[in-house]
């Protein structure tokens, strides 16, 4: 991610942090400690404001204990509606359930961020908001982060391309985070360049980088160097190193070593 993209990305995250809670309420999953306001149309005596217990349930008039933790508000509404109708208490009940106080979602942001560790989102949030709370990515943080989520005993892994997410300007991959989620930011793949370049060393491998772009990152070829006979040292699947002749337009891969020879003339 270039410096420009990172600067704009941090501003974008700050704006997201100021966004109202309803922006992600459709995806929010109720957690223990949340306070819910539940009403039934035409039944003011059933209006209830209740906190979700540590067991993940609430007690609602007529139907008793209802498990709500882990469900969306819409799913909670449907369950209470089903029980009221099944018990014959109300004919065609219309239930409204809203979260009026969030306990806060605790999310772990690990790896190449400025403040790794557990962070509390005081309202429903998304990937970018959790990363912003962790202080953003350090310079060698990867453009692709991994969301790890365990639900019903099953662990899911989702890779999120932060650069593509920002460029698209959409929310499709800017997933809502849930209590207990882990966001891992790995080290960005690197490449190496040495020989007759202005700044030999180790550099960040950007997406779809070509050999020509890699040479420019190294400051370009010195007057003593030549583009002829460019070589890359690359490890194959077995771990063995191969020397490969390349052209300026060829792609650079993770851990490639680019060697620029000295001109003989």
- Rounded mean pLDDT, 103-111: 86
List b or e across 236-261, with b for residues whose CB sees 16 or more CB atoms inside 10 angstroms: eeeeeeeeeebeeebebeeebbbbbb
Distance separating the N- and C-terminal Cα atoms of the chain? 38
Q: Answer yes or no: do 77 and 40 share one domain.
A: yes
Domain end residue (candidates: 135, 169, 185): 185
CA distances from 35 to 17, 22, 56, 120, 233 (A): 21, 15, 12, 17, 59
Question: Structural domain tally of the chain?
Answer: 3
Q: Answer yes or no: do 114 and 93 share one domain.
A: no
Q: Answer yes or no: do 80 and 63 share one domain.
A: yes
Which CATH number belongs to the domain containing residue 236 in this structure? 3.10.560.10
Which CATH number belongs to the domain containing residue 86 in this structure? 3.30.1950.10
3-state helix, strand and coil shares in percent for the chain, rounded to the nearest 5: 20, 35, 45
DSSP-assigned beta bridge partners for residue 33: none
Is residue 213 included in any domain, yes or no?
Answer: yes
Is residue 24 included in any domain, yes or no?
Answer: no
Q: Answer yes or no: do 69 and 119 share one domain.
A: no
Phi, psi (degrees; rounded to nearest 5) at 87 = -80, -5
Confidence band, pLDDT 50/70/90 cuts, at residue 168 = low
Task: Say what the pLDDT of residue 26 is.
Answer: 59
- Rounded mean pLDDT, 170-196: 87
Q: Answer yes or no: do 149 and 222 share one domain.
A: no
Is the overall model pTM greater than 0.85, yes or no? no
Is residue 4 included in any domain, yes or no?
Answer: no
* Full domain range(s) for residue 95: 35-101
- Answer whether residue 21 shows pLDDT above 50: no
Confidence band, pLDDT 50/70/90 cuts, at residue 16 = very low
Q: Answer yes or no: do 123 and 149 share one domain.
A: yes
Q: Answer yes or no: do 141 and 159 share one domain.
A: yes
Q: How many CB atoms lie within 10 A of CB 48?
A: 16
Q: Answer yes or no: do 139 and 150 share one domain.
A: yes
Is residue 15 included in any domain, yes or no?
Answer: no
- Specify the DSSP element, H or E, that contains 126: none
- Answer whether residue 238 shows pLDDT above 90: no
Q: Answer yes or no: do 172 and 194 share one domain.
A: no
Percent of the chain with pLDDT over 90: 56
Is residue 227 included in any domain, yes or no?
Answer: yes
Domain end residue (candidates: 69, 101, 133): 101
The answer to whether the beta carbons of residues 175 and 126 sit under 8 Å apart is yes
Domain end residue (candidates: 101, 123, 148): 101
C-alpha to C-alpha distance for 179 and 253, rounded to whole angstroms: 36
Query: Taking Cα atoms as reference points, which of 203, 226, 225, 224 lies closest to residue 213?
Result: 203
- Answer whether residue 20 shows pLDDT above 90: no
Q: Answer yes or no: do 116 and 90 share one domain.
A: no
Q: Which long-range contacts (CB under 8 A, 24 or more apart) does 5-13 make?
A: 5/163, 5/166, 6/136, 6/137, 8/166, 9/128, 9/136, 9/162, 9/166, 10/132, 10/136, 12/128, 12/166, 13/128, 13/129, 13/131, 13/132, 13/136
């Amino acid at each position: 991610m270039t410096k420009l993209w990172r600067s704009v990305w941090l501003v974008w995250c700050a704006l997201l942090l100021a966004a109202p809670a309803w922006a992600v309420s459709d995806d929010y999953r109720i957690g223990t400690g949340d306070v819910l306001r539940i009403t039934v149309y035409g039944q003011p005596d059933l209006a209830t404001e209740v906190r979700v217990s540590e067991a993940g349930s609430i007690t609602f008039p007529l139907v008793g204990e209802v498990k709500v933790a882990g469900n969306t508000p819409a799913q909670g509404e449907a369950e209470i509606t089903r029980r009221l109708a099944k018990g014959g208490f109300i004919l065609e009940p219309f239930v409204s359930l809203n979260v009026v106080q969030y306990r806060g979602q605790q999310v772990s942001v690990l790896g190449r961020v400025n403040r790794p560790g557990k962070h509390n989102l005081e309202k429903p949030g998304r990937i970018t908001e959790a990363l912003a709370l962790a202080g953003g990515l350090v310079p060698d943080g990867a453009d692709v982060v991994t969301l790890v989520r365990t639900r019903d005993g099953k662990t899911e892994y989702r890779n999120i391309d932060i650069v593509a997410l920002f460029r698209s300007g959409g929310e499709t991959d800017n997933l809502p985070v849930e209590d207990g989620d882990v966001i891992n930011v790995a080290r960005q793949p690197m490449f190496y360049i040495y020989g007759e370049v202005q700044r030999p060393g180790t550099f960040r491998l950007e997406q779809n980088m070509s050999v020509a772009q890699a040479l420019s990152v190294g400051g370009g070829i010195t007057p003593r160097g030549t583009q002829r006979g460019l070589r890359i040292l690359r490890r194959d699947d077995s771990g063995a190193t191969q020397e490969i002749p390349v052209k300026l337009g060829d792609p650079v891969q993770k851990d490639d070593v680019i060697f620029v020879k000295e001109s003989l003339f």
